[in-house]
Amino acid sequence: MRYLLLLYQDEKQIDMSPEEMAKWEAFTKEVTDAGVYEDGRALQPVPTATTVRVRDGETVTTDGPFAETKEQLGGFYLLNCKDLDEAIVYAAKIPLAPTGSVEVRPVMEFE
């Protein structure tokens, strides 16, 4: 089953040091070597986001994210795991898990 691991962290706490980047590369290598990695991406910072709503037939756009929160969606991994337990094991290994949060969501498959 495919799981989307959504990565949330306070953007002010993002660490782009070589040591931190090595942790991310190691995690990506681990899930790739395990054969569960399908995709993963970092997102541009929150100020680049645009929220779109349609109200009464009119498209309304707002700069920034939908809601004010302490943690922002910063990226994702798409993994194909045997079950939720395996997805949670990998989510706990993501480098931001100790300071941010990882939301694990099963992907709905339409056939």
Homologous superfamily (CATH) for 2-106:
Dimeric alpha+beta barrel (3.30.70.1060)
What's the pTM value of the predicted model, to 2 decimals?
Answer: 0.88
Would you say residue 22 has pLDDT above 70?
A: yes
Domain layout of the chain by residue ranges = 2-106
pLDDT tens digit sequence for 37-48: 999 999 998 888
Give the pLDDT score at 67.
Answer: 60
What is the pLDDT confidence band of residue 13, given thresholds at 50, 70 and 90? confident
Q: For the residues 69-75, what does the mean pLDDT come to?
A: 85
Rounded CA-CA distance 74/68 in Å is 14
Q: What pLDDT is recorded for position 68?
A: 61
pLDDT recorded at residue 66: 58
Tens of pLDDT, residue by residue over 82-104, are: 999 999 999 999 999 999 999 99
Higher pLDDT, 10 or 102: 102
Q: Among 10-19, 29-38, 81-90, which stretch is predicted with the lowest mean pLDDT?
A: 10-19
Q: Single out the residue of 8, 4, 5, 17 nearest to residue 98, CA to CA.
A: 8
- Output Rg (C-alpha) for the chain, integer angstroms: 16
Which pLDDT does position 15 carry in this prediction?
Answer: 86
